[in-house]
Amino acid sequence: MVSTKVLKLEEKSVASPGIAIGQAYIVPSRGTHFPKYWITDKEISSEVSRFKQAVLKSARQLAIIKDKLCRFQGKEQIQILESHVLLLKDPMLNDSSIQIITDSCINAEWALDKVLAQLKLAFASMRDEYLRERKNDIDYVGRRIMSNLMGQQEHGFKELPYPNTIVIAYDMSPADFASLPRHQLAGVITSVGGETSHMAIMARALEIPTIVGFGDITSHVNEGTQLIIDGNSQQIHIQPDKSLLTLFKRKQRQQRAATRKLLRESRTPAVTLDGYHMHLMANIDLIDEIPMALEYGAEGIGMYRTEYLFLNQLDYPSEEEQYKHYKTILKMMKGRPVTIRTLDIGGDKLFGNIEEHLNPALGLRAIRLCLKEVEIFKTQLRALYRASPHGQLRIMFPMITTCDELRQIRSIIREVHAELTRQKHKFRHNIPLGIMVEVPSTAIIADQLARDVQFFSIGTNDLIQYTLAIDRTNEQVSYLYQPFHPAIMRLLHMTATAGRQAQIEVAMCGEIAGDPKYIVPLLGLGLNSLSMNPISIPRVKKLIRSQNQRDAIRQLESALLAGTADEVSDHFPSGD
């Protein structure tokens, strides 16, 4: 008799929570080897033609998958595949590959590999984890072209081998994920990848239990092995016995019933037992995520990231394109508050006309880039102000570190107002302006900054990394990523106190805002709102409704005296 084996997961590996029960299907791995050879001058023309044909074939394949996703799985993630189609048209990919084939007299596969390495390096150096993950999109598109160059067949997931299949793959592109038959798919496990990857975003939107970045899962699992993914307890059960299967099938039914109940209660406000109302908002990347956010009870959008609008273009989006985009968001939200963050992206190789820096995380980024490339910034601001009559718009600026930056922003906004007035555009003059608190210096001078803005929004992901000098994506030091570190708690308290004294709103849009184990200290801080992945909203609302804010304040006061992250954590319940 085979005994059950239990594998423990890291919390960050659970890209989409839930329980999945099924049999393992191991996707055959494609080799990473490709031919490298020199070609003669006479062969250059045919080699360029071969490259172009592979790109065209890749575009046709993605068009078919996109059409299937639209017809059978909804439109939520269509833009993800559209971004891959745009990458296929990108001159940096096409022209550079053709140039290398021509100048270096090498075959198309070799030239493509050189270009992909350069493009992935540009994204890998970005400070934002979401943007760093975009290097995977380059990789997926490149692999598709490479496969077509080499005449390899697509995986073609028309059918899966089992009624309830847990798909196991080294990696999975959004296109491959979209092509999986939903009626047979129980869950997904990949060896690499992150929770901000496009595949992970799609998995959460479709509520498919998904584990990413597990490592060599195939050393534990064979084809057809019975598995249980328990994303809630961060475990994988291999070869579960009959009693364990019965237990988890019951848990699965209970979880589905609980989810239905949470959704029924999702529009009930998050008000504590002693009457404190915490507003819960959604972090949004795509317009098509808005219906889901509203279904899950979002009271507004706490952060709409505009980077995707820029990344999903072959050139900078025009003022008119941006205006229509922001107008659509505001109209869809029907008067609910919408906080749109201005461009938060690096000025390195993504925009080839801007010089690369040795340390991009500390270089020309976010508001620094916008204040240097003023026309890009003004175009976005003009579009935002023009859209403002269509809803309750708020504008948020990222990576502010000095009061001087705010004064520069105010000056540019005055110029934008004057231009729009001359052009007879209607717009709201008094849009609330806020900043992200994501750098230690910002928290330290929060009392000064609060004089010039209407709200703060704390970005804990970067605040923790900058304060503790760690990169949480680096496995060697990721254990030091400690939201309960006393220094972090003091910076949060400092920011919340400064906002309260200045009588401005203090929100949080970082990852811990949607994590139940941090909700009690966030209540103790007296934050006005939390913004999170929409799927987390019902559970967090339910938890807040069971708490007493006065108790949370007392717990926080004691926790602020602690000397270690563990000691801080001991002051708060688990939140489960």
User: Each residue of 433-467: pLDDT tens digit?
Assistant: 999 999 999 999 999 999 999 999 999 988 998 99
Domain termination residue (choose one: 123, 149, 175): 149
Which 3 state secondary structure label does DSSP give 181?
coil
Task: Looking at the structure, tell me whether residues 419 and 517 fall in a common domain.
Answer: yes
Task: Looking at the structure, tell me whether residues 557 and 475 fall in a common domain.
Answer: yes
d(C-alpha 397, C-alpha 339), whole Å? 10
d(C-alpha 310, C-alpha 316), whole Å? 6
Three-class secondary structure assignment of 352-412: CCCCCCCCHHHCCEHHHHHHHCHHHHHHHHHHHHHHHHHCEEEEEECCCCCHHHHHHHHHH
Task: Looking at the structure, tell me whether residues 290 and 342 fall in a common domain.
Answer: yes
d(C-alpha 210, C-alpha 205), whole Å? 11
d(C-alpha 415, C-alpha 409), whole Å? 10
Residue 496 lies in a domain: yes
Q: Select, from the ranges 163-172, 338-347, 398-407, the one with the highest average predicted confidence (pLDDT).
A: 398-407
Cα-only R_g, the chain = 25
User: Given CA atoms 229, 234, 240, 246 in this order, what sign does their dihedral have?
Assistant: negative
Q: Which of 7-11, 172-176, 187-191, 570-574 has the lowest mean pLDDT?
A: 172-176
Task: Looking at the structure, tell me whether residues 175 and 128 fall in a common domain.
Answer: no
Residue 545 identity (one-letter amino acid) = R
Give the CATH number for residue 134: 1.10.274.10
Instruction: Report whether 20 contacts 228 (CB < 8 A).
Output: yes
- If one compares 340 and 14, the residue with the highest pLDDT of the two is 340
Task: Looking at the structure, tell me whether residues 129 and 185 fall in a common domain.
Answer: no
Task: Looking at the structure, tell me whether residues 390 and 242 fall in a common domain.
Answer: no
- pLDDT score for 217: 84
Task: Looking at the structure, tell me whether residues 202 and 306 fall in a common domain.
Answer: no
**What size, in residues, is the chain?**
576
Neighbour-count burial for 104-119, b at 16+ CB within 10 Å, e otherwise: ebbbbbbbbbebbeeb
Task: Looking at the structure, tell me whether residues 289 and 353 fall in a common domain.
Answer: yes
Task: Looking at the structure, tell me whether residues 312 and 223 fall in a common domain.
Answer: no
Q: Which residue, 366, 348, 368, is CA-closest to 358?
A: 348
Residue 403 has pLDDT above 60, yes or no: yes
Three-class secondary structure assignment of 45-74: HHHHHHHHHHHHHHHHHHHHHHHHHHHHCC
Give the CATH number for residue 493: 3.20.20.60
CA angle 248, 249, 254 (to 5 degrees): 90
- pLDDT score for 71: 41
Tokens found for residue 441: 């210096």
The Cα-based distances of 7 to 2, 190, 240 in angstroms read: 16, 14, 12
Tokens found for residue 210: 């998904």
Backbone angles phi, psi at 518, to 5 degrees: -105, 0
Task: Looking at the structure, tell me whether residues 550 and 423 fall in a common domain.
Answer: yes
User: Given CA atoms 292, 293, 299, 304 in this order, what sign does their dihedral have?
Assistant: negative
The number of beta carbons lying within 10 Å of the beta carbon of residue 66 is: 21
Question: By residue range, what is the domain housing residue 425?
Answer: 272-569
Task: Looking at the structure, tell me whether residues 429 and 354 fall in a common domain.
Answer: yes
- pLDDT score for 79: 57
Residue 480, judged by CB atoms within 10 A of its CB (0-12, 13-18, 19+), counts as middle
- pLDDT score for 326: 97
Q: Which residues are catalytic?
A: 198, 509
Write the DSSP assignment of 502-546 as a string of letters.
TT-EEEE-SGGGG-GGGHHHHHHHT-SEEEE-GGGHHHHHHHHHT
- pLDDT score for 128: 56
Task: Looking at the structure, tell me whether residues 169 and 308 fall in a common domain.
Answer: no
Instruction: Report whether 243 contacts 10 (CB < 8 A).
Output: no
Q: Structural domain tally of the chain?
A: 3
- If one compares 65 and 179, the residue with the highest pLDDT of the two is 179
Q: Which of 308-312, 499-503, 526-530 has the lowest mean pLDDT?
A: 308-312
Residue 267 lies in a domain: no
- If one compares 91 and 490, the residue with the highest pLDDT of the two is 490
Cβ neighbors of 309 (< 8 A, separation 6 or more) are: 317, 321, 322, 325
Residue 258 lies in a domain: no
User: Residue 397 forms beta bridges with which residues?
Assistant: 435
Q: Which residue, 50, 34, 61, 35, is CA-closest to 144?
A: 61
User: Residue 284 forms beta bridges with which residues?
Assistant: 304
User: Each residue of 218-234: pLDDT tens digit?
Assistant: 888 999 999 999 988 88
Residue 262 lies in a domain: no
Domain termination residue (choose one: 149, 176, 194): 149
- pLDDT score for 357: 46
- pLDDT score for 13: 84
Which 3 state secondary structure label does DSSP give 495?
helix
User: Each residue of 171-217: pLDDT tens digit?
Assistant: 887 777 877 888 899 999 998 877 767 678 778 777 899 999 888 88
d(C-alpha 306, C-alpha 339), whole Å? 11
Helices (H), 445-503: 446-449, 460-468, 486-501
Domain termination residue (choose one: 119, 149, 179): 149
Give the CATH number for residue 15: 3.50.30.10
Residues of the chain with pLDDT > 70, as a percent, come to: 85
Residue 31 lies in a domain: no
Q: Which residue, 488, 449, 447, is CA-closest to 467?
A: 488
d(C-alpha 435, C-alpha 451), whole Å? 12
The number of beta carbons lying within 10 Å of the beta carbon of residue 427 is: 17
